Amino acid sequence: MYKRYIILFSFFMSSIFAIMAQSIDNNEDLINLGIIPAPNNIFLKNENSDINTVNIFINNEVDINFFQQLFKETKGITLVKKESSNVHLLHFAELEKEGYRLDIQQNKIEISTSSPTGLQYALVSLTQLVQHHGFPLPQVIIEDSPKFAYRGMHLDVARHFFKVSDVKKYLDYMAYYKFNNFHWHLTDDQGWRIEIKKYPKLQEVAAYRKETLIGHYNDQPHQYDGQRYGAFYTQDEIQEIVAYAAARNINVIPEIEMPGHAQAALSAYPELGCENKQYEAATKWGIFEDVFCPNEVTFKFLEDVIDEVVTLFPGKYIHVGGDECPKEAWKKSAFCQELIKKENLKDEHGLQSYFIQRMEKYINAKGKQIIGWDEILEGGLAPNATVMSWRGIQGGMEAARQNHDVIMTPGTHCYFDHYQSDSADEPIAIGGLTTLEKVYGWEPIPETLELEKRIYILGGQSNLWSEYVKEYAGVEYMVYARGIAMAEALWSRQKDFSKFLNRYENHNDYWKNRGANMAFHVYDLIPKIKAGEGKPISVSFDMPQNYTLNYFHKDRGSIILFQKDPIVIKTSGNHTFRATKGNKEGRPLKIDFDLHKGTTASIQLKNNPAKQYSGNGSGSIINGVKGNDNKYGGSEWLGFAGSDCIATLDFGNITELNEITFRFFKGEGQWIYLPKNIEILTSNDGIDFKSIHKISDISTKTKIATISQSFKNLQTRYLKFSIANYGEIPTGKQGAGHKAWLFVDEVVIR
């Protein structure tokens, strides 16, 4: 009892010291320690310890294999017998399960935890301290626990399959950054990846597709490689991976898609569909109308699948998908229409809710709970479901307000299949732009969510969909860099991106030195081009304080700029920018400016673009810079979700115009359509506008449509153009029934 009070008193005093340290400058200390995710409380003493090697005895509380490998790659940490260890492990029951206290003293290290999880996290932090700070170790007290209970990473193996050894690499990466949930996407239209013994055709047929799309979905016409592709995990391999994860205190959540994304399963058992036909596993990406039919044959099949799944995954959750389920097959099915009437359902959305709720009851009876993507809200939320909010934050907020647990994973910040740089050298990705800084700055709890409902936000998760990721090196490239930022976004209560970068660079080098295919875009410049304000355009960059900007233009020569003042662009042509820090430098950013009459006009938009596709504001479409021909998520394209782009330009005085050129992106597989029509109007007072031309029948065989209209000595002060959104996506197309996206780039005025 006496010893317990000594520990309690020591813990109390260290807590006081840690609070004092916060008032000094926690983040400055974090740079020196090199730990990611950043610990939440630190007391750094003014002197180093005498510790120049860590001799540690690990009991059976944590997985010895994980740490043997980790320590093998860490100079200065040695596994020893208990009597020669200078690391003392203490049990402190009052600590949170995932919390730990790491106390580095003059000649010894004390680690206090209440669980094997906390001990693992403490040892990982100690290892990172040795790797990224070095000896002698500082005298420091760290008290740490996560901000969010759920910290997840997702991997899609249905589009492209990754070996057992690759999945283990993924889990080791997760353990290094204290992630605790692995969302394993095992089934989809393109392949069924889990062995179900009762249904052997899932392995023989559904696990394979006859060929695979080449290039991007937006490339027309579609081309295929003509090679059969597929694989699956045996139940023994599943159990091996689940055990490997558990040894690292990671829970594995399997996803078995229903009622949509079922085409691979239907290819093996066509009686599960609503039509009497032979199905094939999908050979391209997207959403398909062939879905499970909600009949007794289907429910028996899925219940049998669940029976085997629950024996393989001991965790709390089974993910049932529930996303992107087209209703056309159900609308055409006499059985489905009769079932809607019989169950007194409102419509097909109600039928999806009926489907999910029925499966939830069965899964609950097996002692598990379901997770579903936020579409499961449509038609009524299943009673005990956890919602994974991916189409933004609204679904998550709605579920939280209904007192349901929520895992936030909005595509705007958490989809690692998006591009991470505007560089033309980036490997092909689905689209969008999700940078390291954007991930780091993400907060899972929306500011507009009521305080009493925030307890339902369990945490967040990154997602990697593998349509364009064929090998594990691609997983490393798309995930590892941004995953480091995600780890801190979900763990640390205090964040500072510029100071995070110092630790991040060391961690990036760590993985690169181990052979990982690391993305590195820290020095990539993202321009903020200001236009549309009735004056010459300018460009600026948000850079950390210790970065320098190098600028070159043929008329101005090479200039080194230490200040962050905007650079006024006075001439057309190529302008080159590069960020440097000490002897390190980023890739040159070359911007080709075309100064036309629109670049000095002011602009007003009637409808705002979607927040995630708002570029640098409304002036992005008259700033003299064309957006990327292959990516719509950069700083130049403005994306309108179901609305028109209506803009009014003011040239300041009567101006002669001779031509206007519009530029649009087309990607129907991603719901991006060309406009229905364009109307051009003029005015001299900004009040009464006259329509002078209409353009319709807009088409292109490529991703980019360029539409021009000439005039002869047109005199006007105000120019207005109304670009009409395509409207509702037609039946048979990806996203049928949803409103189309409209993406507009540079509007050039001569």
Contact indicator for 33, 140 with CB cutoff of 8 Å: yes
Q: By mean pLDDT, which of 198-207, 557-566, 641-650, 679-688 is the weakest?
A: 557-566
Please, are residues 521 and 482 in contact by the beta-carbon 8 Å criterion?
no
For the chain, residues classed under CATH 3.20.20.80 are 150-513
Alpha helices in 313-393 (DSSP H): 328-332, 334-342, 348-365
* Cβ-contact 360, 322 below 8 angstroms: no
Q: Which residue in 154, 261, 418, 596 is the catalytic one? A: 261
User: Residues of CATH 3.30.379.10 domain(s) within the chain?
Assistant: 2-144
Write the DSSP string, 284-321. S-S--S-----SHHHHHHHHHHHHHHHHH--SSEEEEE
Please state, for a pLDDT cut of 90, what percent of the chain lies above it: 82
The fold of 594-749 is Jelly Rolls (2.60.120)
Task: Give the count of alpha carbons within 13 A of 746, CB side only.
Answer: 19
Q: Which helix or strand (DSSP H or E) is residue 550 part of? A: strand 548-553
Identify the active-site residue in 255, 324, 348, 476. Answer: 324
Q: Is residue 13 over pLDDT 70?
A: no
Mean pLDDT of 25-35: 63
398 belongs to the catalytic site: no
pLDDT tens digits, 485-495: 999 999 999 99
pLDDT of residue 554: 80
| CATH class entry, domain 2-144 | alpha beta
Question: Residue 313: CB partners within 8 Å, gap ≥ 6?
Answer: 238, 242, 252, 253, 254
pTM: 0.91
What pLDDT, on the 0 to 100 scale, is given for residue 220? 84
pLDDT of residue 7: 45
Instruction: Tell me the percentage of the chain whose pLDDT exceeds 70.
Output: 95
Name the active-site residue from 188, 405, 488, 636.
188
Distances (CA, A) of 405 to 233, 385, 389: 30, 8, 11
Cα distance between residue 168 and residue 513, in whole Å: 19
Contact, 677 vs 648, CB < 8 A? no
Write the pLDDT tens digit of every residue in 135-179: 999 999 999 999 999 999 999 999 999 999 999 999 999 999 999
Among 165, 182, 312, 186, CA closest to 239: 312
Question: What b-and-e string marks burial along 53-72, b requiring 16 or more CB atoms within 10 Å of the CB?
Answer: ebbbebeeebbeebbeebbe
pLDDT for the residue numbered 563: 60
User: Rounded to whole angstroms, how far apart are CA atoms 208 and 187?
Assistant: 12
Predicted confidence band at 6 (pLDDT cuts at 50, 70, 90)?
Answer: very low
Using one digit for the tens of pLDDT, what is the confidence trace for 643-676? 999 999 999 999 999 999 999 999 998 899 999 9
Query: Is residue 650 among the annotated active site residues?
Result: no
pLDDT bucket at 25, cuts 50 / 70 / 90: very low
Residues of the chain with CATH 2.60.120.260: 594-749
Residues 6+ apart with CB under 8 A from 9: none
CB-based contacts of 442, cutoff 8 Å, min separation 6: 413, 414, 460, 486, 489
* Residue among 629, 642, 547 at smallest CA distance from 592: 629
**What pLDDT sits at residue 489?**
98
10: pLDDT strictly greater than 70: no
* pLDDT tens readout for residues 504-549: 999 999 999 999 999 999 988 889 999 999 999 999 988 777 788 8
Read off the pLDDT of residues 67-116 as tens digits, 9 standing for 90 and up: 999 998 899 999 998 889 999 999 999 999 999 999 999 999 999 999 99
* Distance (Å, whole) CA 607 – CA 643: 7
Maximum alpha-carbon separation in the chain: 95
Joined tokens for residue 491: 């763990």
- Calpha distance 73→620 (Å, rounded): 48
- pLDDT for 630 equals 83
Using alpha carbons, select from 21, 130, 26 the residue that is nearest to residue 76: 130
Active site residue 324: yes
Phi then psi for 540, rounded to 5 degrees?
-140, 170
Q: What's the pLDDT score for residue 200?
A: 98
The listed CATH number (3.40.190.10, 3.40.120.10, 3.20.20.80, 3.40.47.10) that belongs to domain 150-513 = 3.20.20.80
Q: What is the pLDDT of residues 236-281, one digit of tens each?
A: 999 999 999 999 999 999 999 999 999 999 999 999 999 999 999 9
Q: Sign (positive/negative) of CA torsion 169, 174, 180, 181?
A: negative
Q: How confident is the model at residue 562 (pLDDT cuts 50, 70, 90)?
A: low
Half-sphere exposure of 744 (CA within 13 A, CB side): 34
Helices (H), 574-684: none
Burial class (CB in 10 A: 0-12, 13-18, 19+), 584: exposed
Q: How far apart are CA 417 and CA 428, in angstroms?
A: 9
Mean residue pLDDT across the chain:
92
